[in-house]
Amino acid sequence: MTWRRWLAAFSVLAVCASLGIVVSAAPPMKALIVDGQNNHNWQETTPVLKQLLEETELFAVDVATSPPKKSDMSGFKPKFAGYDVVVSNYTGDEWPDETKQALVDYVSAGGGLVIYHAANNAFPQWKEYNEMIAIGGWGGRNEKSGPYLRWQDGKAVLDNSPGRGGGHGPRHDFQIVVRDADHPITKGLPSVFMHYSDELYSWLRGPAKNVKILATAFSDKEKRGSGEHEPMLMTISFSEGRVFHTALGHAGQQCRSVAFIATFLRGTEWAATGKVTQKVPDDMPGPDAPVLRQ
Ligand code: ZN
């Protein structure tokens, strides 16, 4: 570019600035969604999650898609460290050791991680991953994986009784009950709000260390549940890092439930920064009926 062109470009910018025109406002944060294998329809949910995050204008979102099942994973090396927050929509084959270590290093150094629904099924044998998610299900998880984590008599309780890790009955609408109303993620939300026709994850178990339960749902035995108040929204501290774990959001339709949207977006912002600047949405449901966005 010649100096004349520089001058012309500078003049245009100067005019825009004097007219108060914002030429471009890049979102302040970078998010990475990891997918590529899942016992759920990640091809459907990742674009929904990406759009939700981008609509906040807080995040620019990239997606790292692994090779399909039973193929060579050695080249799957997302650059976690370049992001403010990593959202896992992955459960499937083991990652290369280098990739696992990169995620541990990223979170340990203060990175944000969001564990979304079936991502808590992943990696039953990976010690640090299970510490990051606190509790998980399926994949052969049992009492050797750690205790169940439940809400009883106003507090979190660990239950070491033997049994399976992970289960749920048929999908149904259920209430989310806030158990910590002072956390940035839940502050200002209704104390009880209805979620739309989802799997109510129950019997999750794991190391359950450094975990805070933000909200629970009652897993009714009449719906083939555990009869316990099961954790739905959690935060976990892992070294310097922040993890937000949501058990909600089975498929695209569940991700249109405002109970999911509001908590997922607030949790992702918190994982990225430790703060939440988003307002509670105007269409936030109360205790009686779910709200679905079109
Ligand atoms: Zn599911």
Is 282 within the bounds of a domain?
no
Least confident stretch, 11-25, 59-73, 226-240: 11-25
How far, in Å, is the centroid of ligand 1 from the Cα of 199?
Answer: 6
Rounded mean pLDDT of the chain?
A: 94
**What one-character DSSP code corresponds to residue 204?**
-
Tell me how many domains the chain contains: 1
Q: How many CA atoms lie within 13 A of 239 on its CB side?
A: 13
Crossing angle for the helix pair 42-55 and 258-273, to the nearest 10 degrees: 70
Is 292 within the bounds of a domain?
no
Is 280 within the bounds of a domain?
no
Confidence of residue 229 (pLDDT cuts 50, 70, 90): very high
The answer on pLDDT for 85 being more than 90 is yes
How far, in Å, is the centroid of ligand 1 from the Cα of 136?
Answer: 13
**pLDDT, greater one: 283 or 5:** 283
Give the three-class secondary structure for 203: coil
pTM of the complete model: 0.92
Is 211 within the bounds of a domain?
yes
Is 288 within the bounds of a domain?
no
Confidence of residue 27 (pLDDT cuts 50, 70, 90): confident
The answer on pLDDT for 3 being more than 80 is no
How far, in Å, is the centroid of ligand 1 from the Cα of 122?
Answer: 13
Burial 141-162 (b: 16+ CB within 10 A, else e): beeebbbbbbbeeeebeeeeee
How far, in Å, is the centroid of ligand 1 from the Cα of 247?
Answer: 9
Residue 123: which CATH number?
3.40.50.880
Is 130 within the bounds of a domain?
yes
How far, in Å, is the centroid of ligand 1 from the Cα of 24?
Answer: 38
How far, in Å, is the centroid of ligand 1 from the Cα of 251?
Answer: 7
Structure confidence at residue 230 (pLDDT):
98
How far, in Å, is the centroid of ligand 1 from the Cα of 200?
Answer: 9
Structure confidence at residue 57 (pLDDT):
97
The span from the CA of 215 to the CA of 234, in Å, is 7
Biggest CA–CA distance in the chain, Å, is: 76
Structure confidence at residue 1 (pLDDT):
46
How far, in Å, is the centroid of ligand 1 from the Cα of 28?
Answer: 31
Its domain, for residue 88, covers: 27-273
Is 157 within the bounds of a domain?
yes
Which positions ≥6 away from 158 have C-beta within 8 Å? 147, 148, 149, 208
How far, in Å, is the centroid of ligand 1 from the Cα of 248?
Answer: 8
How far, in Å, is the centroid of ligand 1 from the Cα of 119?
Answer: 10
Is 248 within the bounds of a domain?
yes
How far, in Å, is the centroid of ligand 1 from the Cα of 168?
Answer: 9
Confidence of residue 241 (pLDDT cuts 50, 70, 90): very high
Other CB atoms within 10 Å distance of the CB of residue 36: 21
Distance of CA 164 to the CA centre of its chain: 23
